[in-house]
């Protein structure tokens, strides 16, 4: 009888320990997912157009997120596939930016150039349209909104590759490029937020 009671106590403690461990694991998983920069990403192909709809989270104030996303003259300092980025003209709510670099995914790569017209609606919206470049068409919209102690970033991209780019471009290629870029951009945001 004493052994039976002793086993019940051990079993009760074991269950309590397992419940606590499970709660710890669930809490850690929830915390990790809240801190992940990529909340969701969906890449589809509609005819010749690759369409990206993604949600990112940056653990920084919206003002810092905005400053990094609009620091066009220094993007090559933290975005891996950008070799040059410079502002060529500024107007009231418009910026014209020239960029070049090399997009890579595994063994596939291609150099690109682009000139973009960027409409800024501070501090929430950045709309980009390619004027000329290596792609047939590139348009994107970034929407920023505060969320808790950070910033939620909704991203929509439509890209129609050129004949040359279409030989290497695929849904996994596009997803890799967007993931790599925004991981680096959010990394820079986090770095700037450090005291």
**77-129: per-residue pLDDT in tens?**
999 889 999 999 999 899 999 999 998 888 778 889 999 999 999 999 999 99
Are both 50 and 112 inside the same structural domain? yes
Confidence label for 25 from pLDDT (cuts 50, 70 and 90): very low
| C-alpha triplet 75, 69, 74: angle, nearest 5° | 20
Are both 42 and 105 inside the same structural domain? yes
pTM metric for this prediction: 0.80
- Mapping DSSP to helix (H, G, I), strand (E, B) and coil, where does residue 85 land? strand
Are both 58 and 88 inside the same structural domain? yes
Are both 24 and 89 inside the same structural domain? no
Are both 154 and 80 inside the same structural domain? yes
pLDDT of residue 131 exceeding 70, the answer is yes
| Mean pLDDT estimate for the chain | 85
Are the C-beta atoms of residues 82 and 94 closer than 8 Å to each other?
no
């Amino acid at each position: 009888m004493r052994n039976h009671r002793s086993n019940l106590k051990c079993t009760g403690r074991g269950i309590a320990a397992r419940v606590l461990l499970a709660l710890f694991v669930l809490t850690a998983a929830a915390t990790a997912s809240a801190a992940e920069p990529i909340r969701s990403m969906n890449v589809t192909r509609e005819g010749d157009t690759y369409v990206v709809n993604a949600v990112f989270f940056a653990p920084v104030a919206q003002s810092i997120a905005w400053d990094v996303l609009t620091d066009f003259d220094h993007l090559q300092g933290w975005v891996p596939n950008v070799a040059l980025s410079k502002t060529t003209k500024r107007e009231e709510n418009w910026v014209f930016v020239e960029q070049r670099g090399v997009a890579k995914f595994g063994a596939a790569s291609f150099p690109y150039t682009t000139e973009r017209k960027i409409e800024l609606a501070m501090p929430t919206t950045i709309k980009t349209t390619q004027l000329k470049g290596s792609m047939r068409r590139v348009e994107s919209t970034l929407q920023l909104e505060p969320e808790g102690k950070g910033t939620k970033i909704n991203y929509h991209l439509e890209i129609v590759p050129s004949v040359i780019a279409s030989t290497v471009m695929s849904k996994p290629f596009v997803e890799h490029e967007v993931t790599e870029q925004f991981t680096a951009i959010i990394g820079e945001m986090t770095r700037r937020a450090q005291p």
